[in-house]
Amino acid sequence: MAQAYGDAQSINFVNPASYSRLQLVTFDVGVHGGSRRLTSKDASSSAGFGTLSYLQLGMPLSPKWGLNIGIRPLTRVNYNIAVPEERTFFDTLKVNTVNQFEGSGGIYQAYVGSGIGFGGFSVGVNVGYIFGNVTNTTRIVFPTAEPLDAITPSSDMKRTSYGSFFYTVGLQQIVKLGNEMTLQFGVTGSMEQKLSAKRERLQSTLNYDASSDEFYTRDTVKYTTGERGDLIYPQSLGGGLMISKSDKFAFGADYNTSKWSKFRNFGAVDSTQDSWRMSVGGQFVPNAQAFSGYWNRVTYRLGGYFGKDYIKLDGREMNTLGFSVGAGFPVRRIMPAMNQFTMINAAFEVGSRGNVEQLRETYYRLTLGFTLSDRWFIKAKYD
């Protein structure tokens, strides 16, 4: 329910229009980690992961005008896949080979955003810079230590560096349903954007080292650098609504879609398709003003999603499904710093995409976030 969400001390970078509701200077940082399992008909593998989720600083500039500065990872690449294959060389020589596919790197967003409100309506924009690099390597090797004089293993490495500006626009509308109840709407979107990229490529032959059971570079076949091109980042659109009662509960739903079929990387078409996701969720606080009973002031959260992934595998769609549970733990204010507020947020998420007939990915992720809010620029008063 990120499209319509916003409050005085939470930063919602999904919809920059929500910055207009900031009333406290807020530092927000999150990290996540977990495990991922890939399963097919014939094999399965597991791996762990962990990284920064976001780092941001939001502040009110005036009533109904807020600013946010932050950085977050956009994509993360980390895979190592081996596929056996029998190849025919010189028309008659059949050799068992292994195709090794490796990828590493990631892309990040550094951004600054602002939102301004007019009554119950607010508008905002995030602008920033996308940067990072991704390395993809394909190797053809022989699963044997016996040398083949006429045939040598080979490697083809491509490293692509990205650096370009981006933007996202957001709108929100709040409708009062009573003294404490509100109905909120939110919309975000961005048009198709062309991002600049630079690529280097190294094609080489390999030798096998029996002592380390690894392959190393034997000779460079071809090396090119400085190739420039574009990455076409697809148009995206999202919308949502939320109904809430102040300091008590909030429930909402989001729908997001992206035109990934238009994605291009140096003009090449990838195995992508238009994607969509439907998300629902809510949070509940038993008694936010309770003087006793800490668990009465904890925020309890529950959510889920389903949709169609942007990746298309062997021409078939990949469905996505997942749910999460979480809580926000308030930290007691310490005298005399009565203007300071701290919240520790924790969430556990389980999700999957794909199918067992081809390939299914199942992941388990734990996210921890720390929100520290304070009132700055308060003019001192003296008696």
Which tens digit of pLDDT belongs to each residue from 46-98?
A: 888 888 999 999 999 999 999 999 999 988 888 777 777 777 777 777 777 88
What is the CB-side half-sphere exposure of residue 362 using CA atoms within 13 A?
Answer: 8
- The pLDDT assigned to 85 comes to 77
Q: How many CB atoms lie within 10 A of CB 44?
A: 13
Residues pairing with 25 in the sheet: 374
Predicted local distance difference test score (pLDDT) of residue 12: 93
What is the value of pTM for the model shown?
A: 0.86
Rounded Cα–Cα distance for residues 321 and 333 (Å) = 39
Of 277-286, 307-316, 332-341, which has the strongest mean pLDDT?
277-286
Q: What is the pLDDT of residue 336?
A: 43
The pLDDT of residue 237 is 95
- Over range 243-253, report the average pLDDT: 92
The Cα–Cα gap between 174 and 184 comes to 5
| Section 321-333 average pLDDT | 88
What pLDDT score does 5 carry? 92
Q: What is the mean pLDDT of the segment spanning 205-212?
A: 74
Residue 175, token pair as written in the block: 């409708």
- The span from the CA of 324 to the CA of 236, in Å, is 24
Q: What is the reported pLDDT for 84?
A: 79
Tokens of 348: 């556990």
Quick one: CA torsion of 9, 10, 14, 15, rounded to 10 degrees? Answer: -30
Integer-rounded Cα Rg, in Å, for the chain is 25
Q: What is the mean pLDDT of residues 284-292?
A: 85
Range scoring the smallest mean pLDDT among 142-156, 192-206, 346-360:
142-156
Phi then psi dihedrals of residue 218, to 5 deg: -95, -50
DSSP state of 315: T
Q: How confident is the model at residue 381 (pLDDT cuts 50, 70, 90)?
A: low
What is the model's pLDDT at position 281? 95
Closest by CA position to 194, among listed 226, 227, 167: 167
The more confidently predicted of residues 203 and 337 is 203
Distance (Å, whole) CA 168 – CA 21: 18
Rounded distance between C-alpha atoms, residue 310 and residue 321, angstroms: 13
Interval 256-261 mean pLDDT: 93
Q: Which of 76, 75, 79, 58 is nearest to 67 (CA)?
A: 58
Q: What is the arithmetic mean of pLDDT over 215-241?
A: 88
How do strand 268-269 and strand 264-265 relate by DSSP bridges? antiparallel
pLDDT at 340: 67
For the chain, where are the E strands, in sequence order? 25-39, 44-62, 65-89, 93-118, 121-141, 154-176, 181-190, 193-209, 214-233, 236-245, 249-258, 264-265, 268-269, 275-284, 299-313, 316-331, 341-355, 359-374
Tokens representing residue 26 in the block: 């807020």
Share of the chain above pLDDT 70, in %: 92
